[in-house]
Structure 1
Amino acid sequence: MRISVIGSGYVGLVTGTCLADWGHEVVCVDRDPAKIELLTNGGVPIYEPGLEQMIAANVARGRLSFTRDLAAALAGSDVVFIAVGTPPRASDGEADLSFVYDVARDIGEAIDGYTVVVCKSTVPVGTGDVVERIISQVRPDADVTVVSNPEFLREGSAIEDFTKPDRVVIGTEDERAREIMLAVYEQVRANGQPILITKRRTAELIKYAANAFLAAKLSFINEIADLCEHVDADVDEVAEGIGLDSRIGAKFLKAGPGFGGSCFPKDTLALLRTAQDHGVDMRLVETTVSVNDARKRRMALKIMDAVGGSVEGKTVAVLGLTFKANTDDMRASPSLPVVELLQRAGATVRAYDPEGMPQARPLMSDVEFTDDPYTCAKGCDAVVLMTDWDEFQSLDLERLRGLVRTPVFVDLRNVYAPDKLVKHGFTAVGIGRSTQTGADDGRHAPAQPPAAHSGNGSPAGRTIDEEAEMRLVSIR
């Protein structure tokens, strides 16, 4: 089957490459001449494990190509995927659909014969209706069916997610389009993975609902982690205990510094905007967003507490900058507000990330970027493990201890068992765990004792977030 994929960013490139690997003839289209030149010459504009090799293999087989010429790509295409960005608008957080609508006009001008136009971009409910209307306005005689086919790709695991999905969702009530889409995903059907066919608007909502639910799980376990720190419980064991319940499941119950990336932050905001437009309250989603925003800021306070309450004049080494491991994506990464707040509080920040530093440099000012974790940690007053890259899960702790000025290790991903850090002379500060100090005279333990807590687990009767906000005001 001949397929065109418009947009060669993360979703479009993974989609086009995997479809080509299944045997389809795929042309990826992008307006950016630099990106097309890079891809044509064997380069890849994003970091995703295994993607570069898969692209090269399918280009060599003649099944995958790249072009800026939309009309040439669409000529004879059975299916056209729209996979352009839908970033949040700065004014209100609503998804910016201008790229989608521009592509719809271009498609209307270029298609020839019956064509299935598939919206792979994440879009609010009803976008497919508008795309269909735009195409028909540009080309009244167009024989087109617009289908919703949302993506569920995790950065760092995108190829497996596409080729071995939990499910494929196809939103259409047109029989011709249904059969063509089933042919596109014949490999999925042959592997026995579920394919759910729904109305187009239902498919559009499924994407947002899924991401909002997963984001809520992350915010939930992060709040439980805060409680664990006050009642001497271990959040990892709590997560394991509840995750073994088949009704809950273990995924997305890993406490950390808050969620980021290209999907959860913008999709939760877009869902809230859609709900507001229809007069529907979504208080759980609203709370999920606010909890996550506060979470990132409060991680800076955790680091400050770990070194005695103030980072004025101190050096903090940050290991990992991307919002998760196995990606170079810095969008909405927790490291951004954490580093900014540490700098405002007077800290000097050094940083190292295996893949994310080229993307981080334009976003972070006055940060010293280093070539490895040990150079990053030399002479520092605290080591902060921000992103759980494999490289950081097997650090030479003895070597690290000999390099730092003050042996404080703030593990925001709970990669290391606290007793292992303590054994190597560090004060161990994790997420949802009690702080553990080394066997020395206590000089490296956090200097400020815990405040007296009221019955709700916060000082002076305030909530944890209110207390954090009051402290952050002084930094701002």
Structure 2
Amino acid sequence: MRLMIIGSGYVGLVSGACLAELGHHVMCVDNDTSKVERLQAGQIPIYEPQLSEMITRNVARGRLGFSSQLPRLGKEIHAVMIAVGTPPQTNGSANLDAIFAVAKEIAAKAIHPQMVIIKSTVPVGTGDSVQALMHKARPEMHFSVISNPEFLREGSAIDDFMAPDRIVVGAGDETARNTLRALYAPLEQTGTQVVCMGRREAELVKCAANAFLATKIAFINEMADLCEAVGADVEQVAHGVGLDERIGEAFLQAGPGYGGSCFPKDTTALQAIAQEYGINLRLVETVIASNDARKRGMGRRVSRALPGGLSGRVVAVLGLTFKPNTDDMRDSPSLALIDAVQRAGAKVQVFDPQGMNRARLHLHDVHFADNAYLCAEGADCIVLATHWPEFATLDAERLGRGVRNKVLVDLRNFLDPQAFLNAGFAVHAIGRPPQHPRRHNVLAVHQDSARNHSRRGYMNGATQRSALQDGMSG
């Protein structure tokens, strides 16, 4: 099939590259001329594992191209996919200006009936509005508007597209559904379920799924607070709870709160659309408030780990992106953490394997280090904010030789506490009591051994678990 994908951001690039990989001919269109020029020169504007190689491969095969102009849409074009951004407005609702602008352009350029696939995450009813807008602009032309939400998690987006849990198609007529089945035929043939439903139902699926996953994260974070208060270990509690097949272990990893481009935006957008229809989503509202409070509270955790407070101290933050294997800083918990410790009077040193350039756009008055060890030099406290797989192999002894005070605050329960205790560090984690070298007795060793047994599976598959923990992103 021949496709036009309008929007060359995260969703558009991943979708375009993967559809080309499946054998389709794809042209990605974006009105950002400089971005298009960089893409044509082989420069990929985002970091996503496997993406650069896949784009290069399919450009060379002649199945993928980039343009800043949408051409006339004749019968040789089988479908046009909309993958532009829908950023949140001040009231939390999604800004659909780009969606409607693109719909008008498609209507103007069409010289043959077109299938219009909305891949962007949009509020329920958007497809109806797009259909009405295009019909008004070109009443003589037939447009079939289809909802086809994406379920891509940053850091594992290529795998998510090529081996998805499901493909959701929201369309009112059989011709449109068959077109989407043809588009995804290679995936359906390998066992992926294509779920067809109404357009409004499909539009709700994405936001509802993300709201539910965000609820699991908020829940286990509150359980972590309770575990700390009663002297229990949240990882063991989460493991016992997650073995219930009705619940599952995914998204039950306690941490500093969720961030990224999807969970914050989709939960607030869902709440906004519910309010528009006079419906109270009390649970979603509470999840949003709980997560906001969670991120703001991370600075207090660091302060409690340093007797005497943060004024005049140096805090080293390892990891800045909202999750590993991406350079995305949107709503990252590290931003709230760094702001809080700076307000308390601390100086901040930071390092992230991929997020440094984007972090410079968000952070001020911080020292950007070239690696984790330089980041830790002279620090009174090391804070692990993002669980990049390479951090699992950090040498605790070497870190200890560079710091001023041996204090570790692991906000992801990712690092081996035994290694840091052996190196003389006090270890503060999420959802379990603090550990200090002098108090580290035989019982503590036994507990750490049990925890490390389960953690070894994590470290052998850190990318997979980080995707489970941090969720879908688009």
Q: So what's the TM-score if we normalise by structure 2?
A: 0.91
Report the AA paired with residue 381 of structure 1.
Answer: D
Q: Deviations over 1:409-463 (max 9, x none)?
A: 000010123233211110000000110011399xxxxxxxxxxxxxxxxxxxxxx
Report the AA paired with residue 385 of structure 1.
Answer: L
Q: What is the distance in 1 between the residues matched to 2:94 and 2:301?
A: 33
Partner of 1:149: 148
Q: How does 1:418-429 map to 2 (within 5 A)?
A: 418-429=417-428
Deviation at 1:111, TM superposition (A): 1.6
Partner of 1:186: 185
Q: Deviations over 1:387-421 (max 9, x none)?
A: 00012111011100000000000000101232332
Contact 1:76 1:112 (8 Å CA) reproduced: no
Q: Does 1:285 align with 2:284?
A: yes
Q: What is the distance in 2 between the residues matched to 1:183 and 1:354?
A: 39
Q: Does 1:17 align with 2:17?
A: yes
SS at match of 1:328: coil
Q: What is the distance in 2 between the residues matched to 1:283 and 1:94?
A: 17
Report the AA paired with residue 169 of structure 2.
Answer: I
Q: How does 1:95-174 map to 2 (within 5 A)?
A: 95-174=94-173
Partner of 1:438: 437
Q: How does 1:382-401 map to 2 (within 5 A)?
A: 382-401=381-400
Q: What is the distance in 2 between the residues matched to 1:75 and 1:106?
A: 17
Deviating more after overlay: 114-123 vs 415-424? 415-424
Report the AA paired with residue 426 of structure 1.
Answer: F
Partner of 1:68: 68
Contact 1:259 1:323 (8 Å CA) reproduced: yes
Q: What is the distance in 1 between the residues matched to 2:29 and 2:139?
A: 24
Q: What is the distance in 1 between the residues matched to 2:157 and 2:358?
A: 20
Q: How does 1:216-231 map to 2 (within 5 A)?
A: 216-231=215-230
Dislocated runs of 4+, deviation >3 Å: 72-75
Deviation at 1:365, TM superposition (A): 0.9
Deviation at 1:69, TM superposition (A): 1.2
Partner of 2:84: 84
Report the AA paired with residue 109 of structure 2.
Answer: A
Q: How does 1:177-326 map to 2 (within 5 A)?
A: 177-326=176-325
Contact 1:170 1:203 (8 Å CA) reproduced: yes
SS at match of 1:312: coil
Identity score, percent: 53
Report the AA paired with residue 77 of structure 1.
Answer: I
Runs of 5+ unmatched residues, structure 1: 442-476
Contact 2:75 2:113 (8 Å CA) reproduced: no
SS at match of 1:336: helix
Q: How does 1:323-472 map to 2 (within 5 A)?
A: 323-439=322-438
The count of residues paired between Structure 1 and Structure 2 equals 440
Report the AA paired with residue 28 of structure 1.
Answer: C
Q: What is the distance in 2 between the residues matched to 1:87 and 1:156?
A: 20
SS at match of 2:438: coil
SS at match of 1:4: strand
Runs of 5+ unmatched residues, structure 2: 441-474
Contact 2:72 2:110 (8 Å CA) reproduced: no
Report the AA paired with residue 283 of structure 2.
Answer: L
Q: What is the distance in 2 between the residues matched to 1:418 and 1:231?
A: 20
Q: Deviations over 1:354-374 (max 9, x none)?
A: 111111111111011110001
Q: Deviations over 1:7-53 (max 9, x none)?
A: 00000000010000000000000000111011100110100000000
Q: What is the distance in 2 between the residues matched to 1:74 and 1:439?
A: 75
Partner of 2:34: 34
Q: Deviations over 1:250-272 (max 9, x none)?
A: 11111110000000001000000
Q: What is the distance in 2 between the residues matched to 1:73 and 1:29?
A: 13
Partner of 2:471: none
Q: What is the distance in 2 between the residues matched to 1:340 and 1:17?
A: 37
Partner of 1:54: 54
Instruction: Name the CA shift for 1:317/1:179 in 2 (closer, same or farther; >3 Å).
Output: same
SS at match of 1:159: helix
Partner of 2:44: 44
Q: Which has the higher contact order (CA 8 A, sep 6+)?
A: 2
Contact 2:6 2:83 (8 Å CA) reproduced: yes
The Cα RMSD (Å) is 1.2
Contact 1:27 1:73 (8 Å CA) reproduced: no
Q: What is the distance in 2 between the residues matched to 1:362 and 1:158?
A: 24
Contact 2:316 2:381 (8 Å CA) reproduced: yes
SS at match of 2:382: strand
Partner of 1:457: none
Contact 1:67 1:73 (8 Å CA) reproduced: no
Q: What is the distance in 2 between the residues matched to 1:309 and 1:217?
A: 35
SS at match of 2:71: helix
Deviation at 1:75, TM superposition (A): 7.0
Instruction: Name the CA shift for 1:264/1:309 in 2 (closer, same or farther; >3 Å).
Output: farther
Deviation at 1:347, TM superposition (A): 0.3
